[in-house]
Structure 1
């Protein structure tokens, strides 16, 4: 692998070990933010932090940045060996390590413009990208790259993909308000459980093309108390919706609202709903994908460049292009043998691929600036 030395590989291994052992959940990445900011200052950079949120960003080089790279910094909250705790089982510790590697490599390069490296909080809660957008962090950028470690079932260890086509996801919560009544007189009440059952049935009537991948289903419901002879008048529920494309998600959402209206009218119940999280499907730019493909080939050779990966999971990264359609984005899929799988409490992967990922990202940023220079001359 070009431009990589043993010293940098050892440095990145130390950074990964620290980040892996100090996970913090979404919007609580206080020490992680401090650690990265101090690291950046130690190498002569000037990171920008926020008074009202975690996360940070830093510019490398002079002028206004046109090319950027974003990493996520939060961990999951899950049960590990019988104890609930923060846990890096989605690879964000590895993503941060690659970002740090890219920082160290970029500092030694003579680029025609600044590069913005973004350390984003709260990817797992699907609100970190929105927060960064509101701060204006993305505004000057033309290209924005990201990365994600991939499970072995998607990519072989050492084979890397120039794009990840994640799907869209929505988490919707709701409240049903009916009328309580005596179990002997159900006609005097509005049974919230029956309303929920009707809504579940209505969700099955939301039709989409069989050529499109999508689903919508109720995943939580709570209703009734300890007495079995009372018609329950209230219930809360959660809906999980998935679609491979944003347009399909729009159709599913419209169908859901029609189902809610129809069921509430039929039963005379009130159904209030709220979108708790929205993850946009990938909007991969063909130009950015080609740049990433070239970067992979430059770094590890064409034989190790895999096709783009279509995956049913979601990624907050894609919210950037969803809100700024002019932004040229793609995500590097790092083939590093993730097993047993993402979000498994014992997830592990080949950490030797992290310096490779840092080099690929650095090459992609250099090639993006080369592409911009070419377009300006034209």
Structure 2
């Protein structure tokens, strides 16, 4: 059995939720130390960073993998399962890290191995940033398994563009009243409906990809013959670009407040679960493109991909714009899809993914 598959089988059997990756972090820290890295644990909570310094002036390259599992309710019980490929990402980065040192492939600069916690809740990257985990990084590279519908086995895309996503929440406050005397109250449901209608009327540049839709509404006076004085609505907000997300949220907040005001209600508005859109450097894309060709040949270089999914990797670029960032998508015949408890893929693809990471590292640090 190959080393990368051996690591995958080990990590797959120890799934842990975000910021609870204690066993995983310990395992990774020990492996990095054994490989010859200087290791720091507890980065941003449960993150692990390994550093190899060549002793020669040069850039600092970070290879990042997410280490947390997903939470699934099975038979009414919350279970941690690796159904997004984070165990595969970690196995490829760790194996690459081991081979790079063993084969003495670095002749300048520093290599930083970043095992990031809590990608699924979208808070792990920010925790690592706030802990100073990437303060000295010049280039950061990441990767993700891709569904068969996007990239087949034997190919990889050098740039996987995720969109921005957000949740917009509004709590509408009216005035409670008896159902027989509606003129004495302000119906929070009316306010919520008016706000939903107002948000649906927002129109941005049609050449920009975006969507905003109400996905949850709660309003209950406790009985059916009373007017509720409170209602909550949540919108799912998505856009291809960060600037479009900012504009869409600004317009939506104005629409919600105005909609509530039409019936005499107020709205308390907040956002949460924000994930920024991807923004890569041409240099990083070129490094990954050449590395993919090194491994697969020209026929293995798949086109760049835009996906509606989100990834907190993009906080690294948003919070540290000077960093050159790249993120490739690995073809592995993955079915039926990510986050599915039945998710499966061709494990042999991890050998190719590991080699892409090694080739990319050589192009930056050798």
Tell me the TM-score range normalised by the shorter chain: over 0.9
Q: Of 89, 93, 109, which aligns to 1:95?
A: 89
Distance 1:152 1:51, change over 3 A: closer
Aligned residues: 362
1:48 aligns with 2:5: no
Distance, in Å, in 2 between the alignment partners of 1:258 and 1:143 is 39
Counterpart in the other structure of 2:12: 20
Residues 228 and 313 (structure 1 numbering): CA distance in 2 closer, same or farther, change over 3 Å? Answer: same
Superposition map of 1:140-179 within 5 A: 140-179=136-175
RMSD over equivalenced CA pairs, Å: 1.7
Aligned partners of 2:316, 2:67: CA distance in 1, in Å? 17
Summarize the alignment of residues 274-313 of structure 1 with structure 2, pairs less than 5 Å apart.
274-313=270-309
Trace 1:170-189 onto structure 2 (pairs within 5 A).
Answer: 170-189=166-185
- Note if 1:242 corresponds to 2:238: yes
> What is the match of residue 333 of structure 2?
337
Q: Give how far 1:286 is off.
A: 0.9
Deviation at 1:80, TM superposition (A): 4.2
Deviation at 1:83, TM superposition (A): 4.6
State the partner residue of 1:3.
none
Asked whether 1:134 is paired with 2:126, we answer no
State the TM-score, normalizing by the size of structure 2: 0.94
1:11 and 1:225 mapped to 2: Cα distance?
60
Q: Please list, as runs of the form range in 1=range in 2, the aligned pairs for 1:227-238 lying within 5 A after superposition.
A: 227-238=223-234
Structure 2 partner of 1:85: 79
- 2:213 — aligned with what? 217
Measured in 2, the distance between the counterparts of 1:322 and 1:27 equals: 22
- 1:288-317, Cα deviation, whole Å (9 max, x unpaired): 101100000111211111111111111111
> 2: distance between equivalents of 1:118 and 1:132?
9
Q: Residue 21 of structure 2 aligns with which residue?
A: 29
| CA 85–41 in structure 1, closer or farther in 2 if over 3 Å, else same | same
- Between 43-52 and 111-120, report the one with greater CA deviation: 43-52
Please list, as runs of the form range in 1=range in 2, the aligned pairs for 1:2-21 lying within 5 A after superposition. 10-21=2-13
**TM-superposed deviation, 1:277:** 1.5
Residue 249 of structure 1, CA deviation = 0.8
- Secondary structure class of the residue paired with 1:336: strand
In 1, Cα distance between equivalents of 2:193 and 2:121: 28
Cα distance, 1:156 vs structure 2: 1.1
SS at match of 1:220: strand
Report the equivalent of 1:58: 50
Does structure 1 retain, via aligned residues, the 8 Å contact 2:36–2:52? no
* 1:107 correspondence with 2:91: no
Give the number of the structure whose residues are more often strand, by fraction: 2
Deviates most, 134-143 or 72-81: 72-81
Deviations 1:197-230 (A, max 9, x none): 1111111111112222110111111110441111
State the Cα distance separating 1:167 from its structure 2 match: 0.5
Contact 1:222/1:237 (<8 A) preserved:
yes
Aligned match of 1:352: 348
Q: How far did residue 192 of structure 1 move?
A: 1.4
The alignment partner of 1:50 has SS state of strand
CA contact (8 A) 1:74 1:121 kept: yes
Shift, 1:62, TM fit: 3.3
Give distance in 2, aligned partners of 1:307 and 1:100: 27
Q: Which residue of 2 aligns with 1:266?
A: 262
Report the Cα distance in structure 1 between the residues aligned to 2:265 and 2:26, rounded to whole angstroms.
Answer: 50
Q: TM-score of the superposition, structure 1-length normalised?
A: 0.91
Gaps of 5+ in 2: none
Q: Is the 8 A contact 2:166 2:273 kept in 1?
A: yes
Matches of 1:238 and 1:35 in 2, distance apart? 39
Secondary structure of the equivalent of 1:196? Answer: helix
Q: Give me the whole-angstrom Cα distance separating, in 1, the residues matched to 2:44 and 2:110.
A: 26
Counterpart secondary structure, 1:332: strand
Following the alignment from structure 2 to structure 1, what is the Cα–Cα distance between the partners of residues 329 and 17? 23
